Amino acid sequence: MMNHEMRWAMQKFKTSDGLDIAYVIDDYTDPWRRAETVILVHAAMGSSKRFYAWVPHLARDFRVARIDMRGHGASGIPGPHQLTPQRLVQDVIELADHIGAQCFHVAGSSAGSIVAEKVAIDFPERVLTLGAFAGTGGIKHGLQDQTTWVQKIGEKGLAAFLRDTIADRIDVKHVGAGFVDWFIAESARTPVEVLERFVPMMRGFEVLGDLHRISCPTLAVAPGADPIHTIDQYRVLKERISKCEFIVYEGLPHNITDAVPDRCAEDLKRFILKNR
């Protein structure tokens, strides 16, 4: 039997600051036409694998590029001066350059949404549409102080921390058998020393004052029962982005992109096709 991991055709490219960034291309479009590209940016403590269930919905119509953010997944560990908001944004642009996507759709999950929003803000001429799933304009205004996460992770370990806080992320009563164990094991692959730098950096990564500069059609999807952010903190995207479709997934906690991936991917596909 083929090893389950063999399905992931991981590739890498070297960024302008010398770090290796891993990514996966999923493309089942017709080979005689040039397909538009969708770049997916995962959440903190995640990787490109967390979008696995999105692929069947998107890859028939689009070339799908799933990036591992620096310090996550199979990407390199950033050095002392290599982990900044602008570098995360630049990684997306350099991936697009590397795969020949002059213009592209970009969508993100949680922290990845903030990165995607900043890509749309800084590079409006390149972004066709934006998808922000469980993404506000910055995490520091949320209901939880993420700096305590780092302390608890250091005390308990990442896997134990995730298991203790799983109800903040997933509605465990409505996911398939084995999903929680997989979610925790996959997330716990992220090095603790990376999270000790990544979380404080993300708390300083805010785009609220620049959301009005997003000119492309935007889909904002909010989890309606999120204990990490209020619904009003999500609704600010609708209020400040001129071309924004706002959807609430009622009753769901934070990690909607993992818990209801089919619903998320189908909404994104519908939105992109409508706004071509």
CB 109 within 8 A of CB 82: no
Residue 150 has pLDDT above 80, yes or no: no
pLDDT tens-place string over residues 39-60: 999 999 999 999 999 999 999 9
For residue 5, what pLDDT is reported? 42
Residue 141 has pLDDT above 80, yes or no: no
Q: How confident is the model at residue 1 (pLDDT cuts 50, 70, 90)?
A: very low
Q: How many domains does the chain have?
A: 1
Ramachandran bin of 110, using left for φ above 0, alpha for ψ from -120 to 50, beta for the remaining angles: left
At 206, give phi and psi (nearest 5°): -130, 135
Q: At 182, which CATH number?
A: 3.40.50.1820
> What are the tokens at 264?
């998320």
**Which domain does 64 fall in, by range?**
4-274
Report the C-alpha gap between 124 and 83 in whole angstroms: 23
Mean pLDDT of 57-85: 97
For residue 8, what pLDDT is reported? 57
* Exposed / middle / buried, residue 201 (Cβ in 10 Å: 0-12, 13-18, 19+): middle
Residue 149 has pLDDT above 80, yes or no: no
Q: Which of 83-87, 192-196, 244-248 has the lowest mean pLDDT?
A: 192-196
Report the C-alpha gap between 260 and 54 in whole angstroms: 10
The DSSP call for residue 52 is G
Q: How confident is the model at residue 143 (pLDDT cuts 50, 70, 90)?
A: low
* Exposed / middle / buried, residue 102 (Cβ in 10 Å: 0-12, 13-18, 19+): exposed
Count of C-beta atoms within a 10 Å radius of residue 146 = 18
Mean pLDDT of 230-244: 97
CB 257 within 8 A of CB 264: yes
Predicted TM-score (pTM) of the model is: 0.94
For residue 62, what pLDDT is reported? 98
Mean pLDDT of 159-166: 91
In the predicted model, what is the mean pLDDT of the chain?
93
- Output the CA angle 233-237-246, nearest 5 degrees: 100
HSE-up of residue 163 (Cα within 13 Å, Cβ side): 9
Residue 67 makes CB contacts below 8 A (sequence gap 6+) with: 21, 22, 23, 39, 40, 41, 42, 48, 75, 91, 92, 95
Mean pLDDT of 194-210: 93
Report the C-alpha gap between 168 and 71 in whole angstroms: 24
Residue 38, classed as helix, strand or coil, is strand
> Which amino acid is present at 216?
C
> Which amino acid is present at 213?
R
For residue 250, what pLDDT is reported? 97
